Amino acid sequence: MTDATIEHGESVDEERRDFIHIATVAAAGVGAAAVAIPVVAQMLPAADTKAASSLEVDISKVPVGGEIRVLIGGKPFFVRHRTAAEIAAAEAVDVGTLPEPETDEERLRPTPSGEFNKAILVTSGACTHLGCVPVGPGGGNLGDYGGWYCPCHGSHYDTSGRIRKGPAPSNLPIPDYRYVSESVISISL
């Protein structure tokens, strides 16, 4: 025991004093955590907000050569069921000639079996120039590469959603999506 003697003959138990200091600091830390956890938790998105930021899409309902457009959190997305000719056109492109080089396969996500479903392409539905919504195959004005065309300022995208011509600086972004099953995908913001 390390006792110190004070002027008036009283002794101080230094081990006890150190224990009291450590216990006080630990209690203050636990109290701070008890306050901080609910404060931080209330800043996280609510369950309804999380639900509104993702969507499951049954891709078996999209006809070959067709496309559906979905809104998630107010943002448009395209889910296209490409034809064999559209897939062949996307794969035949010399990637080195593209403003933003990406192969067609790099723009796909694997199915639960680990294979790529080349027929299904999911992209953002906002032009990378100023955010207009391009028209797609079957939408009338196809543009020069059989894919999407933005009538606002003339950007042309191919059948893989890659920028080919016009003022858009980059390809149509691929959203965060995954295959839930072979016929259902989940798209998230």
Q: Are 178 and 186 contacting, i.e. CB atoms less than 8 angstroms apart? A: yes
How far apart are alpha carbons 79 and 68 in whole angstroms? 5
Helix (H, G, I), strand (E, B) or coil at 154: coil
Residue 52: C-alpha distances to residues 59, 126, 178 (Å): 19, 19, 17
> Which of 81, 129, 153, 156 is flagged as catalytic?
153
CATH, range 49-188: 2.102.10.10
**Domain spans of the chain, in order of start:** 3-43, 49-188
Q: List per-residue pLDDT tens for the chain, 189 residues long.
A: 445 555 666 777 888 888 888 989 989 888 888 888 888 877 776 666 655 678 999 999 999 999 999 999 889 999 999 999 999 999 999 999 999 999 999 999 999 999 999 999 999 999 999 888 998 776 555 678 889 999 888 899 999 999 999 999 999 999 999 999 999 999 998
Neighbouring CB atoms inside 10 A of 31's CB total: 10
pLDDT for residue 146? 87
pLDDT for residue 1? 45
Q: Tell me whether residue 153 is one of the annotated catalytic residues.
A: yes
pTM of this structure: 0.72
pLDDT for residue 140? 54
Indicate the pairing of strand 176-179 with strand 163-165. Answer: unpaired
pLDDT for residue 109? 94
pLDDT for residue 31? 87
pLDDT for residue 9? 63
